[in-house]
Amino acid sequence: MKHSLLLRIAIALGILLSFGLMPAAADCEGEVIELEFMNWWGAAREAYMDELIGHFQEENPCVRVINQVQPWDNRAELLATAAASSNPPGIIMSTRPETYQFAINGLIIPIDAYVDAHGTDLSVFYDGEIGLQYWNGELYGLPMPTAGGLTGLMIYNKNLLRDHGFDPEDPPDTWQELEEMAAAITVADPMGVDVLGAAAFGTDAEFVAWLYTNNGKYATDDGRTLLFNSPEGVETLEWMVNLTNNINGGTENIIDFFQDTSFSQGDHPWYEDKQAFLHINTSFFGHFNVADPDGYADTDSWGTMLRPYNGDNPDAHSAGTTGYNYSGAWAYTIPAVHPPEMQEAAFKFAEFIGVHPLGGCAFLFRQSRPSPVKACNENPAYYEVNPYWSVVLEGLALDTPVQITPVQGQLSEILSNYIEEAYFGVKSPADALNDAHAEMQALLDEFWAEFDADNM
> Phi, psi at residue 274, to the nearest 5°?
-110, 10
Strands (DSSP E) found in 221-376: 277-280, 302-306, 320-322, 331-333
pLDDT of residue 304: 98
pLDDT of residue 327: 52
d(CA 55, CA 348): 13
Nearest one of 400, 215, 210, 243 to 314, comparing CA atoms: 215
pLDDT of residue 36: 97
d(CA 370, CA 359): 13
* pLDDT < 70 stretches in the chain: 1-26, 326-328
What residue type is assigned to position 140 of the chain? Y
Domains of the chain: 2-146+329-401 (3.40.190.10), 153-194+251-312 (3.40.190.10), 200-247+407-456 (3.40.190.10)
Rg (CA), the chain: 23
Question: Is the bond into 145 cis (omega within 30 degrees of 0)?
Answer: yes
With a CB cutoff of 8 Å and minimum separation 6, the contacts of 277 are 154, 155, 156, 157, 172, 178, 181, 182, 197, 198, 199
d(CA 83, CA 106): 10
d(CA 11, CA 6): 9
Residues facing 275 on adjacent strands: 196
pLDDT of residue 456: 75
Residue 349 near residue 91 (C-beta atoms within 8 A): yes
pLDDT in tens, 228-264: 999 999 999 999 999 999 999 999 999 999 999 999 8
pTM of the predicted model as reported, rounded to 2 decimal places: 0.79
> Helix, strand or coil for residue 190?
coil
